[in-house]
Amino acid sequence: MPGPLKALLFVLAGLSGLALGPPAWTQSTSEPVVAPAPRTINLTQEQRFIIKEVVFKDLHVPKARADAPETIGDAVPKNIDLHPMPPVLADKVPQGRSHSFFVKDDNVIVLVSPNDHRVADVIR
């Protein structure tokens, strides 16, 4: 294809796009995306490791029901048995001292805020 003809086709293609106008915007029928709730306790990787080690190797706490919440910010039902933070963990992880926790079947530790009884953090 000769150069001038190729250039003319390119210009016409560009103009045809302008003639159609901007793309049509459609409304989404899905729910808006909501950002996850922020953690209410900030733990280092080392503190998370310490909690996992103590809970899984030393405490042998019974596991919560499979449908127990594990999303940060979710309310924890009253029928979930919570365990207090043991003194050994409270000494090593002071910001977790007032929190309670439960363990799920899939070896997940869920920390619960004492103020609002909501999931504060999840340790996998």
Q: 5 near 13, Cβ under 8 Å?
A: no
The identity of residue 59, as a single letter, is L
Give residue 32's pLDDT band: very low, low, confident or very high (50, 70, 90). Answer: low
pTM equals 0.69
Residue 105 pLDDT? 80
Average confidence (pLDDT) over 81-86: 94
For residue 75, pLDDT beyond 60 = yes
- State how far the alpha carbon of 26 is from the alpha carbons of 20, 29, 30, 44, 53, in Å: 16, 9, 12, 44, 51
Q: What is the mean pLDDT of residues 82-100?
A: 93
pLDDT over threshold 70, residue 85: yes
